[in-house]
Structure 1
């Protein structure tokens, strides 16, 4: 019985030792696991130089290309209004008809005065010709010949004056029909039939606006314009020439379908705001743009011939406020660089120094890899328009080319990361 108890004790001791050894082995394995953990995985985009078009966004207001305020040119009573308010009129269309009775009488009076003046010319001319003959034979004096010539010239001048009066009377008669000076959309009438209007009055009868072409008045700070001129002068940026394309962003954020062009910019800076005025012209065949709309214009400033675009998600700021990015070097280790970031372009930063062709910038897993740490890299790309990340699928294993013995492989494809 005693021997059986001793055997039980030895068996229990053996089990305890085994459990303790197993626990120790687990602790050792747990301690060794971080050292044997796989290298951090990051996604990197390969950089290539490219031609980058630079634009700036400017605020502005739309205005009609042509505006005509219609006023009467003679005094009279309005008899008829011949246009539909809010409709479209063409240049030369009759808008208002004034009472023309007095103007018709003035034309008849002027025509009678013209006939009276014309009737005096034949007798004056005959008298002058007769005196010329008599003066050659010394029958009349030189003074009498000069008087006859003067009377003829006065008669001819009276005819010219009477003809001008007839033309003036006819013009005034034509002015009783108030016509549209330009084509466009006409506003509501400010007067009604029977109203008295006066020549060149201050109040307008109505307003016509040409809307098939629209002006967009823009403003820009003189400081930014000065920086642009310096960049062009130093050849860090190239100009697109005289023709500058402009695109519009409407009030709801949508992009206007038709591009415009920059027409001119002011030659002076506003002393009160420090801004320079610009004007762009846009076609408006559908009438989507209306005068007075607030818009934002994307104006082409120029382009950089060999610029690098780094995704904004890859760039951060250090304690000094400098722009930094992490790159994967040839030893598959992380190195951090300070970059001279010029400006934003879409969802990227434009960098013209500090990078070169083929550099791999880390855009995914930035927090998992520190400077100098060895990493595993997968190729990714970032859509500059949307900022969406795409992973580049790994190339398949090479397959023999039966034609010439060289290796052929399947090209990589882009896969969007959800």
Structure 2
């Protein structure tokens, strides 16, 4: 029994040594690790920014009365689309129709008086030449005729004013758009000097979006244009709605205001969007994504290749000509899809390590292969098959 125990202890110790030797051969960091890389080249990358904004109607107009009176009828349905010039309200026209008729009668009276005064002045002319009447009488007759003619012009203007006021008793739509609720009902007394509108009309297609951008960011952008490959571009804007969904249709920036809001320190950019379905409504909060410039010398590096050091600096491993993994600090301030946008720290044609990073240490020798290379698995040789078969047979026999 003692001899058997000694033999088993000796076998157990030899096995541990063999296992230890096997672990040392496969331990991380030993040998030359295989890493996958991609070759980067400079490309044009849009400098995208995301800012908050509010939707604003393309056109907005208040429906207001221009004469005083009581509303007799309303011709529209609230919330529907109305056309420019379409009648919306009728104000009691009887007083204004009577005023127009009175002005018409006054005009006819003035025309008759002017005609009589003109005839009288014409008759006085030969009598004055014959000195049958005094020249003063003739002068007075001419002056009276001219006054009568002026009176005709005055009464004609009064008639035109009365007709305009009569026309104002029908309140039309000033613009084409969707009308809101009526703030005054039939029977309400309205006046031309009131502060509240009768209703409001808004044109919702297209729609404006007012975007607020920091004046400091805009100043930085303008200073960077023309430097380091950064060029201006026409901003195509995409919207994210209040529920986080994408609006779908794209818009374009129309202009930027030439003043800074002293309270918020921002500049308002106005973008224009099509809104055929009426999905956008005035006052909605949205997020706008757009590019104000393009960097023509940027690199797109897969996000898996970029790490951060203890100071928070972005780093990548670049394969040198001697097949060593050299760690470089880069400038990567933003992402674009699955890539970091790198603007400094690497050069065209660099091999950036994207796979096998967990095995790397700075300046370590590596075996580089293109990223996502397929592994070639060879079938076992005859010797391996025989050895495996022999081991299997012994194990079975045991």
Please report the TM-score for the alignment, with normalisation by the length of structure 2: 0.84
After superposition, residues 183-332 of structure 1 pair within 5 angstroms as 183-234=176-227, 236-240=229-233, 243-332=234-323
CA distance in 1, matches of 2:182, 2:22: 90
The CA distance in 1 between the partners of 2:146 and 2:262, in whole Å, is 61
Secondary structure of 1:258's counterpart equals: coil
Relative to structure 1, the CA distance from residue 54 to residue 25 in structure 2 (aligned partners, 3 Å threshold; closer, same or farther) is closer
Distance of 1:271 and 1:292 partners within structure 2 = 22
Task: Give the deviation of 1:228 after TM superposition.
Answer: 0.5
Shift of 1:14: 12
Q: Secondary structure at the match of 1:256?
A: coil
- SS across alignment from 1:224: helix
Match of 2:344, SS state, is: coil
- Call closer, same or farther: CA 1:40–1:169 in 2, change over 3 Å: same
Given candidates 25, 35, 45, the residue that maps to 1:33 is: 25
Q: CA deviation at 1:58?
A: 1.0
Secondary structure of residue in 2 paired with 1:159: helix
1:341 aligns with 2:335: no
Q: Which residue of 1 aligns with 2:348?
A: 357
3-state DSSP of counterpart to 2:365: coil
CA distance in 1, matches of 2:96, 2:8: 130
Task: Specify which of 171, 175, 181 is matched with residue 182 of structure 1.
Answer: 175
1:291-324 Cα shifts (integer Å, max 9, x gaps): 1111011122111122211233322222333221
Counterpart Cα distance in 2 of 1:347 and 1:21:
52
Q: Secondary structure at the match of 2:243?
A: coil
Query: Does the 8 Å contact 2:228/2:297 carry over to 1?
Result: no
**TM-score, scaled relative to structure 1:** 0.81
- Mapped to 2, the partners of 1:235 and 1:359 lie a distance apart of 19
Equivalent position of 1:369 in the other structure: 360
Gaps of 5+ in 2: 377-398
Asked if 2 retains the 8 angstrom alpha-carbon contact of 1:214 and 1:289, the reply is yes
Establish whether residue 152 from structure 1 lines up as the match of residue 145 from structure 2: yes
Give the drift of 1:392. 5.3
User: What is the CA RMSD across the aligned residues, in angstroms?
Assistant: 3.0
Measure, in 1, the Cα distance between the counterparts of 2:131 and 2:373: 118
C-alpha displacement of 1:224: 0.7
Deviation for aligned residue 1:187: 0.9
Whole-angstrom CA distance in 2 between matches of 1:337 and 1:358: 15
Runs of 5+ in structure 1 lacking a partner?
1-8, 381-390, 396-418
Q: CA deviation at 1:379?
A: 2.9
Mapped to 1, the partners of 2:9 and 2:187 lie a distance apart of 121
Q: 1:101 aligns with which of 94, 98, 110?
A: 94
With 213-222 and 322-331 compared, the bigger mean Cα shift is at 322-331
- Aligned counterparts of 1:20 and 1:102: Cα–Cα separation in 2: 121
C-alpha deviation, 1:201, in angstroms: 1.2
Aligned to 2:120, the other structure's residue is in SS state helix
* Residues 12 and 165 of structure 1, relative CA distance in 2, 3 Å threshold: closer
Post-superposition offset of 1:229: 1.0
CA pair 329-143 structure 1, distance change in 2 beyond 3 A: farther
Counterparts in 2 of 1:262 and 1:392: CA distance versus 1, 3 Å = farther
Aligned length: 375
Report the CA distance between 1:17 and its aligned residue. 11
Per-residue CA shift, 1:246-267, capped at 9, x if unaligned? 2211122222222212122222
Shift, 1:161, TM fit: 0.9
Verify the 8 A CA contact 1:71 1:200 in the aligned structure 2.
no
Q: Distance in 1 between matches of 2:22 and 2:375?
A: 33
Residues 18 and 318 from structure 1, CA distance in 2 versus in 1: closer, same or farther, beyond 3 angstroms?
closer
